[in-house]
Amino acid sequence: WQLKVKSSFGSQEPPHVPALPLIGSLLSLRSQHPPHVLLKELQKKYGQTYSLMMGSHRVVIINQHVHAREILLKKGKIFAGRPRTVTTDILTRDGKDIAFGDYSPAWRFHRKIVHGALCMFGEGSATIERMICAEAQSLCSTVSEAAALGLALDLAPELTRAVTNVVCSLCFNSSYARGDPEFEGMLRYSQGIVDTVAKDSLVDIFPWLQIFPNADLRLLKHCVSVRDKLLQKKYDEHKADYSDNVQRDLLDALLRAKRSAENNNTADVDAATAGLSDDHLLMTVGDIFGAGVETTTTVLKWAVTYLIHHPDVQRRIQDELDSKIGADRSPRLRDRGSLPYLEATIREVLRIRPVAPLFIPHVALSDTSIGDFKVKKGTRVIINLWSLHHDEKEWSHPEHFDPGRFLDSEGTGLTVPSSSYLPFGTGIRVCLGEALAKMELFLFLSWILQRFTLSVPPGHPLPSLEGKFGVVLQPVKYKVKATPRPGWERAKSQMC
């Protein structure tokens, strides 16, 4: 019996990367590789699951799907905590959002109403499809204008604009024209936040460093205050003309859920204890911008980058689009089922270049175990999605871009060939925007590839596939030559 109890809490600690007092394992983590690659490499020395010290925090690193699934699914509630850090506290008013909020009844209720609101405007909704198609149309017009002038285009800012506008329409029922000062301001502060949060922030490992002047923290605080002013303005406007009978957007849906909880119109136990404040709703919208724009845009950028490297894949998608949709109308969400090769390509992009290769760290909320290893309450856990998606035992030639691995043996049906595939996570903390992101990826890519063939301008090198690591794993900057496809002359590219 004693043995049984022992093993249910794990019998041994995971192997440790050496650590020194105060600085932890910092010296062993110096490398020219980005963190996800280094943490994958360290498996060779310490095994698939090992631990290290970040300052005074013990962090367990997971490089295999069996342990990842145990953490996210089987022990989802035990590992549902999030660490608090200096930068995320600034970003989220001390964790009043979903992504960095710690697990609690308030968080559970908060996540539930946001999920409900996103479903209403998300999956299967004609409203969101219209919003995305409007942005796809505007994006294709910009690309078409550049093509008509014979110009190569940096697609990255155009994709950011398009995805940001979808999120603006979803949250505030307002989309912006190019050059609109409010919109340009929003793009600027978002970039500032991405740049500063992306820095390997030492203050997050050693919070006492805050007492020293820190230019990054100053910039982050400035960008967050500009963001908050805009969010507050939108929030006040929505509150002023709120009506129970009309739901224009996500902010209306959130306001309704909050009011209904306050009026005790809900039997929800968590709601009774939650007490969601205005800050919670504002930070939710901050989260959707923060988690929803950079990620989706980056996947689109990687998709374009891989398609440029693989004209054969691009051609096969275009053949599929031509035969299933033709040139008389634009793709719709209902076409997804008949375009398996495009869907397989999106899955392969999400596998080969996971934008969140280290997820968001989880925290053990009680003493527990992972496999045979015991894990103490408060331990942080980093799931290295890069290792899962590049595990040689699970994927043949993992660095080889091959959408076909997500097709069945007939090449017509979609499959997921390995359990080592978790681009959006799974379980209690699964990505809240998975459905929205998949709709955007499908519509933007199908619209672009129906109209244009993408390449690099003559004489330009192919863009690097290495990527640079920040908040997300980004491709490098480069220019794209978009050649209109036969039948997609300029006027027609406007067609919806």
Quick one: which segment of 5-13, 185-193, 389-397, 421-429 binds ligand HEM (CB under 6 A)?
Answer: 421-429
Binding of ligand HEM by 285 (CB under 6 A) = no
Cβ proximity to ligand HEM: between 92 and 453 the closer is 92
**Shortest separation between residue 303's beta carbon and ligand HEM, angstroms:** 10
Distance (Å, rounded) from C-alpha 368 to C-alpha 374? Answer: 6
Among 125, 196, 296, 318, interactor with ligand HEM by CB under 6 A: 296
Spatial contact of 428 and 77, defined as CB atoms under 8 Å apart: yes
**Total residues binding ligand HEM (CB under 6 A):** 23
The answer to whether the Cα torsion of 252, 231, 104, 70 is positive or negative is positive
Cβ proximity to ligand HEM: between 60 and 98 the closer is 98
Q: In 3-state terms, what secondary structure has residue 108?
A: helix
Burial of 400 (0-12, 13-18, 19+ CB in 10 A): exposed
CA dihedral 124, 130, 131, 136 (to 10 degrees): 110
DSSP 374-387: EE-TT-EEEE-HHH
DSSP 8-65: HT-SBPPPBPP-BTTTBTGGGG--SS-HHHHHHHTHHHH-SEEEEEETTEEEEEE-SH
Cβ proximity to ligand HEM: between 80 and 147 the closer is 80
Among 437, 445, 471, 473, interactor with ligand HEM by CB under 6 A: 437
Residue numbers 79-98 binding ligand HEM by CB under 6 A: 98
Cβ proximity to ligand HEM: between 331 and 423 the closer is 423
State how far Cα 259 lies from the chain centre: 29
User: Annotated binding residues for heme, as ranges?
Assistant: 431
Quick one: which segment of 44-52, 135-143, 214-222, 291-299 binds ligand HEM (CB under 6 A)?
Answer: 291-299
Among 436, 443, 471, 473, interactor with ligand HEM by CB under 6 A: 436
Q: Which tokens hold the place of 272?
A: 């009774």
Please give the helix or strand (H or E) that residue 481 lies within, else none. strand 481-484
Binding of ligand HEM by 405 (CB under 6 A) = no
Binding of ligand HEM by 292 (CB under 6 A) = yes
Binding of ligand HEM by 360 (CB under 6 A) = yes
Residue numbers 107-136 binding ligand HEM by CB under 6 A: 111
Binding of ligand HEM by 475 (CB under 6 A) = no
List contacts with ligand HEM (CB under 6 A).
98-99, 111, 287-288, 291-292, 295-296, 299, 355-356, 359-360, 423-425, 429, 431-433, 436-437
